[in-house]
Amino acid sequence: MRIAILSRNPELYSTSRLKQAAEARGHEALVVDHLRCSLIGEHQNPRILFKGKDLGKVDAVIPRIGASVTFYGTAVVRQFEMQGVFCANSSISIVRSRDKLRSLQIFSRHDIGIPKTIFTNHPKNVDELIKEIGGAPVVIKLLEGTQGIGVVLAETKKAARSVVEAFHGLKAHMLIQEFIEEAGGADIRAFVINGQVVGAMKRQGAEGEFRSNLHRGGSAVKVRLTAAQRSIAVKAAKAMGLNVAGVDLIESRRGPLVLEVNSSPGLEGIEKASGKDIAATLIKFIESQVGKSRRGDKVGA
């Protein structure tokens, strides 16, 4: 097979591991910077130019699209879909997962536990909203934030009011979310491929840090999921329509809750913590799906 890995940087751990895993299984792996692609719309002949030249036939695509370029990146994925190319994650599922508010609404609709969350455009009602959510401390998140950026823990009502007013003054959309104190600054990342958890790690925030992101100095260790954690991770990925997902969970007194679902989950932390070859598992999944397509079987996306 000829597999295109949509990534802006071939040196990134996840990109290089996927290329290595694909080549180890006898495939041609091409790293394609989606921002250097041009899309040609033509009747019954949608084409993609990469660096000004026709990309040619591709059998499968692995999208590794950064949040800041979601619009253009998913347009490129859609062009591949129009060509009948299998994409590890569909364009619509990526768009869905990138919208924090839409994701939470989808989780609620599918009876998936989430921290109590408020979306508001009226900062003057902050005191009432904080009371509605159970009181301070609360977590305030920018809808556009990634990797822990734009996430603030407001420990008092006064601090929460100040943060909400500041974000509102910048015309930024935000969520106000209950703080799950019993989690102790830790969360769980479950890596889901084709409806199965293939690896999991527990991430612990650095001392004095409530965010557990590895990019912010957090640490990760292998963890064995409970049946409830495994079930909710698979259910959340399915609700998003994602074949490949990093599902972030947090433990609460009322059971596991979903924080968010990542459509381009990194491989470095999960592979090192779990000791599993997640990249090879993803390539095997793609082989099975392309094989079904060639046989004429129905392939879900």
Q: Which pLDDT does position 111 carry in this prediction?
A: 94
Q: Give the pLDDT confidence score for residue 301 in this predicted structure.
A: 41
Q: Is the pLDDT of residue 8 over 70?
A: yes
According to DSSP, residue 205 is labeled P
Q: Does 214 have pLDDT greater than 80?
A: no
Helix (H, G, I), strand (E, B) or coil at 289: helix
pLDDT higher than 50, residue 300: no
Give the residue among 230, 237, 232 at the shortest CA–CA distance from 300. Answer: 237
Given a cut of 90, is residue 226 above it in pLDDT?
yes
Mean pLDDT of the chain: 90
The first and second tokens of residue 105, run together, are 């609404």
Q: What is the CA radius of gyration of the chain?
A: 20
Q: Band of the pLDDT at 211, cuts 50, 70, 90?
A: low
Record the tokens describing residue 230, joined without a space: 């495994």
CA 59 → CA 1, 3, 55, 145, 223, distances in Å? Answer: 6, 6, 12, 33, 35
The mean pLDDT value for 282-301 works out to 76
pLDDT score of 294 more than 80? no
Cβ neighbour number for residue 51 with a 10 Å cutoff: 10
The better pLDDT of the pair 104, 297 is held by 104
Look at residue 298 in the predicted model and tell me its pLDDT. Answer: 53
Quote the strand ranges of the chain, DSSP E.
2-6, 28-32, 37-40, 47-50, 53-54, 60-63, 86-87, 117-119, 138-142, 151-154, 174-178, 186-193, 196-204, 219-222, 244-252, 255-262
Indicate whether 209 pLDDT > 70: no
Interstrand relation of 86-87 and 60-63 (parallel, antiparallel or unpaired): parallel
Q: What is the 3-state secondary structure (H, E, C) of 75-131?
A: HHHHHHHHCCCEECCCHHHHHHHHCHHHHHHHHHHCCCCCCCEEECCCHHHHHHHHH
Mean pLDDT of 20-29: 98
CA distance 248 to 240: 13
Cβ-contact 283, 21 below 8 angstroms? yes
Q: In which residue are the tokens 């619509």 written?
A: 92
pLDDT confidence tier of residue 165, bands split at 50, 70 and 90: confident
pTM for the full predicted model: 0.89
State which fold the 117-179 domain adopts: Dna Ligase; domain 1 (3.30.1490)
d(CA 269, CA 275): 10
Mean pLDDT across 2-24: 97
Q: Topology of domain 99-112+182-280, per CATH?
A: D-amino Acid Aminotransferase; Chain A, domain 1 (3.30.470)
Cα gap 150→138, rounded to integer Å: 14
Question: What mean pLDDT comes out for the span 196-215?
Answer: 74
Query: Quick one: average pLDDT of 198-204?
Result: 94
Please check the confidence at residue 267 and state whether its pLDDT lies above 90: yes
* Coil, helix or strand at residue 239: helix
d(CA 66, CA 58): 21
Name the CATH architecture for the domain at 2-96: 3-Layer(aba) Sandwich (3.40)
Reference 17, options 268, 292, 274, 295; nearest CA is: 268
**Per-domain boundaries in the chain:** 2-96, 99-112+182-280, 117-179
